[in-house]
Amino acid sequence: MPELTIDRSFAEGLDRSDSLASVRQQFEIDPAGPIYLDGHSLGRLPKRVRERLHAVIDEDWARDLVASWDEWVDWPLAVGDRLGTALLGAAPGQVAAADSTTINLFKVASAVLARQPGPLVTDRTNFPTDRYVLQGLAQAAGVEMRLIDVERDTGPQPDLIERAVEGASLVCLSSVDFRSGAVAPMLEINEVCKRAGARVLWDLSHAVGAVPVELDASGAELAVGCTYKYVNAGPGSPAFVYVRKELQAELRQPIWGWFGQREMFVMGPEYDPVEGIGQFVAGTPSILGLAALDAAVAVLADAGIRELRRKGMALVGYASDLIEARLGEFGVVLGGPRRPELRGSHVSMHHPDAYNLGDALSKEGVMGDVRPPDLLRFGLAPAYTRFVDVWDAVDKLTALLRRNG
């Protein structure tokens, strides 16, 4: 990126040269605003998703009725394969799209614990649902729950994990920290845990769709994540679960539902799970949710995850430069790693009055979010965020801070 100039024209120039600028036109965006910097919580609506949902409703459901299940029944694995290939670095047959992140995490962690009893490990400030599920499992199984402390702005590192993993059954970590945006070194942590004999379960919720994930190449064995953030599949869209092919016959997930049953329409008296990733699907899936997810993945697949990451790093780097140059004098401290390649696609700012600043920003037409006690976050989804959006948001925040003295 050229040397920073504190002027909106600089951002306009970056937008003019943006090779992904046309991707923004594939989303429903009101020119009147708001400036939307909360894509790390809920992505914008892709136009293809609207079209796909109308097609499923008007053609499949309204016209073909129950006959549509001849196709629908395969969607959890078919959509999972497309998601895995385009965004997760996972070969076919290892990803299923179904349920929520919480349910999938419970399935996978339970399966590992049943096979290999022992302590469960996560960091004390990991995303709440991950900690809560593991705490419940540890209590039910009577095993130790190890909560480790990580540096606020760097996330889990291999040396820290190495000290905590001895004798553990499972380590559960987020690949991108939801507070700081720090990217965990997946390959190195996988290797540390493998040497110690522990499985690693990755939560990819704040990475998928913004950061290239190489599950197969990194030696990852287990992963879950949601799709309503950077994947833009809509509120409550289906989550996903990844189980490396070599582990699928070894693990038995605890929610025995008919969608994971061999010969499901025979309605037999005993549970006999299908082979492969299909056993991690339990109940009847959300067909409208899967249709939305499939269309949303197609938008990102066409853009290319490498190109999305390139732009995401440029946005993060530009935002970081502006924050330090314009907001430092008002007590705003940039959180997370300074180097864009070590960060996901959101930036974090520490300020003692973050809550009130976030509320005031929303009234000024900037939609970010806050996290207690002092964190203000801007999610810079590369598929549709412009550099001028970043400049305008920081400019409005500067004006607010100046008015507040």
Residues annotated as catalytic are: 127, 203, 228-229, 377
* Contact present, 296 and 238 (Cβ < 8 Å): no
Token pair, residue 212, equals: 């290239």
Beta-strand ranges (E) seen in 336-404 are 346-350, 366-367, 369-371, 375-379
Q: Which two tokens stand for residue 202?
A: 């990755």
Q: Are 101 and 251 in contact (CB under 8 A)?
A: no
- Dmax (CA) for the chain in angstroms is 71
- Helical packing angle, 8-16 and 387-403, nearest 10°: 160
In sequence order, the 6+-apart residues with CB closer than 8 A to the CB of 177 are: 125, 155, 184, 206, 336, 344
Please state, in angstroms and rounded to a whole number, the distance separating the CA atoms of residues 192 and 164: 11
What is the secondary structure of 288-305 as a DSSP string? HHHHHHHHHHHHHHHH-H
The residues, any chain, with a CB within 8 Å of residue 167's CB and separated by 6 or more, are 118, 119, 196
Instruction: Return the DSSP state at 56.
Output: I
Q: Alpha helices, DSSP H only, in 85-211?
A: 101-115, 128-141, 158-164, 186-196
- Cβ(320)–Cβ(334) under 8 Å? yes
Please list, in sequence order, all residues whose beta carbon lies within 8 angstroms of the beta carbon of residue 4, skipping any fewer than 6 positions away.
Answer: 10, 318, 321, 322, 325
Euclidean distance between CA atoms 100 and 326, whole angstroms: 40
Number of residues in the chain: 405
